[in-house]
Amino acid sequence: MTIYVVKPGDTISSIANQYGVTSNRIITDNELTNANNLLVGQSLVIQFPEVIHTVAEGDTLYGIAQEYGVTPTRLLQNNPWIANTEFLIPGTVLVIRFRRDENFGDIVINAYAYPYIDRTVLRKTLPFLTYLSLFTYGFTPEGDLIPIDDTELIQLARDYNVAPLMVLAPMDAGGNFSNEIAHAMFTNPEGQSRLIDNILSNVQNKNYSGVDIDFEFVRPEDKEGFISFISALKNKLEPNGYILTVALAPKTSGEQAGLLYQAHDYPRIGAIADKVLLMTYEWGYTYSSPMATAPLNSVRRVLSYGVSVIDPDKILMGMPNYAYDWPLPYVEGQSKAETISNVQAIERGVQYGVTIQFDEASQAPFYYYTNSDGVEHVVWFDDARSMNAKYRLIPEFKLNGAGVWQIMNYFPGMWLVVNNLFNVAKVL
């Protein structure tokens, strides 16, 4: 894999000739919609096929995999587009193996999805996942679960050998985290016991593989209640063969102040849970000043603290899959960024003919544009370069893997990096 950054005067043909690959290879792998209008500063992943197969009449995915001694999952990872084709078309060229100059071995990847995810996006993404966390079940203080429409997604995950996880979060009717709902449950022993029983029953009945706990903005005074709940749930799940993962705010020290951080006790929760997701994103967010969502220097500080108090083999590094577009000038308390996908960020850049810049400290791309109303904007997003920099932190810190928030939009740059650097572990 080579990550190429487009220069003035470049064309798809000139880049392809430079690396001895076809233009179609670059277009297909990167899912380019602007192949004839590349942006200066745009990153492209160049892959080098070593073994290919031309589909013949009667070929099947499983038959081809068996012929070459690879898994169907590997074929889907190398050729994501076939996940949504009912039959292989004769004459189609499939890549059996790309050249891999580096391989850091197995990692776990968990990713979050809402029940309304586009099924085409989901099928393309599942081959790259170990776990799929379905967001989100709510609950009442009395211990009743507030369910989601998850049956189809659970089966789809299992069809791709991906373990589905039931996400539990204290959310209000508006879809916001509510520490009042969490507090009411923590302080209601009977309701909490009933909730834990209902969780186990739901996991068993729905054929989940475990539970992912995402409690944010827990009151500091509820810290012990939160830890006790996690411990009690773990004790109920573990004997039945189910895992427990917990999402934790991005802390850089045990004494970090703030509602988001104080109840998230890294060493104690890390000792209980099977895995923890360190939510290393949202430095740049809807109401923040313009900046990268997950600046590498900030992510590194969180991981440094995390591995000092939690077994690194339990840690999943948070990975954002979205971008922000801020109107300028930024006015604190008034400005609001628009959430877009990383692919939309490129499309918007093409629309306005931008030049993409790259911030070395945060290892993230950004650009400016002026819309038709004369309002200046700045867009911070992720590309293959920023994904490459972040994913390389996993072997550096000897982490278990990554947790992606979220996979509602397919981002080729992320999965190309994953496919070239790692083998995605499967537990089913």
Residues involved in catalysis: 216
Positive/negative CA dihedral, 82, 84, 89, 92? negative
Say which DSSP state 300 is in: H
Say which DSSP state 177 is in: B
Interatomic CA distance for residues 178 and 169, integer angstroms: 9
Residues in the chain: 428
**Nearest by Cα to 266 from 221, 304, 319:** 304
Q: From start to end of 41-147, where are the E strands? A: 43-46, 49-54, 93-98, 106-113, 131-139, 145-146
Please, are residues 114 and 152 in contact by the beta-carbon 8 Å criterion? no
Helix (H, G, I), strand (E, B) or coil at 306: helix
Please, are residues 222 and 264 in contact by the beta-carbon 8 Å criterion? no
Helix (H, G, I), strand (E, B) or coil at 265: coil
Interatomic CA distance for residues 46 and 3, integer angstroms: 6
User: How far is C-alpha 379 from the geometric centre of its chain's CA atoms?
Assistant: 20
Please, are residues 168 and 185 in contact by the beta-carbon 8 Å criterion? no
Phi/psi at 157 (5° precision): -60, -50
From the CB of residue 329, how many other CB atoms can be counted at a distance below 10 Å?
Answer: 8
Answer left, alpha or beta for residue 397, where phi above 0 means left and psi between -120 and 50 means alpha.
alpha
Phi/psi at 386 (5° precision): -70, -35
From the CB of residue 290, how many other CB atoms can be counted at a distance below 10 Å?
Answer: 19
Cis ω on the peptide bond leading into residue 329 (within 30° of 0)?
A: yes
Interatomic CA distance for residues 7 and 398, integer angstroms: 35
For the chain, the farthest-separated pair of C-alpha atoms sits apart, in whole angstroms, at 69
Q: Which residues contact 171 (CB under 8 A, 6 or more apart)?
A: 136, 138, 177, 178, 181
Query: Which pair of structure tokens corresponds to residue 80?
Result: 């994501």
From the CB of residue 84, how many other CB atoms can be counted at a distance below 10 Å?
Answer: 12
